[in-house]
Amino acid sequence: MKKLFRCLPVVLSSLILALAVLPAGAQDANPAKTNRWDKDIRAFEESDRTNPPPQNAVLFIGSSNIRFWKNVAQAFPAHKVINRGFGGSEMSDAAEFAGRIVIPYHPKIVVIYSGDNDLADHKTPERVAADFKSFADQIHAALPDTVIVSIGVKPSPSRAKLLPQVRAENALLEAYCKAKTNMVYIDDFTPMLSAEGTPRPELFIKDGLHLNEQGRAIWISLIGPVLDRYDPPQTKK
């Protein structure tokens, strides 16, 4: 027994050394990617300094399907719209930068599309839901009257193998939104499936991941009534 205790310091030192020399990421199969979009966020902030966006607007935030939606303001002409989609971002990125590109705008409504890339990055639906909760909690702590609209993860042809995880994630997002005030979940998953229950390729560009105008038309039909409900056009000046 005494010999065992004399060996413990040597064993512990060896374990610490082994952990120290592991390859980057070996201790965490899915490490946080903090600040990877900082350049994009700083570009938004610089633009805001020279051309301040309107307060009390509808803010769209999320991954590349939002970033590529260049004519989103024209899609909802009765509303003041800001687009802050960035990169191939994930829900954790939206939570990380909420204090810089959401809260300062004091938006009336925040429309977020995220969670798609997260599953492709091997995150669990539960992890994505936790990141969404962090995002929403930050906004409502600062802006309790702001309405947060979560668009469900779409069924993409290029990620058809992830459909079970997409369904699980959407169920968690929907349940969370229904349990809270000033939160809305939009089901875009169902109308983007074929009668056979498979993703509809005609709604996407050639990569099978990003929506084309036909796919966005479905988004517009679902999002428009929500914006009109919480930001009635007749009240605008």
Cα dihedral across residues 142, 129, 111, 170: positive or negative = negative
Three-state SS at 124: coil
Q: Residue 212's closest CA among 108, 77, 68? A: 68
pLDDT in tens, 197-219: 999 999 999 999 999 999 999 99
From CA 134, how far away is CA 167, in angstroms rounded?
21
| Residue with token string 């700083």 | 42
From CA 184, how far away is CA 176, in angstroms rounded?
9
Entry pTM? 0.84
Q: Is pLDDT above 60 for 35? A: yes
Token pair for 66: 């939002």
- Residue 36: pLDDT band (50, 70, 90) is confident
pLDDT in tens, 156-199: 999 999 999 999 999 999 999 999 999 999 999 999 999 999 99
Domain range 39-229, its CATH number among 3.20.20.70, 3.40.30.20, 3.40.50.1110, 1.10.3720.10: 3.40.50.1110
Are 96 and 33 in contact by the 8 Å Cβ rule? The answer is no
Question: Cα 64 to the chain's mean position, in Å?
Answer: 10
Q: What is the pLDDT of residue 33?
A: 53
Which residue did the predictor score with more confidence, 20 or 182?
Answer: 182
- Residue 34: pLDDT band (50, 70, 90) is low
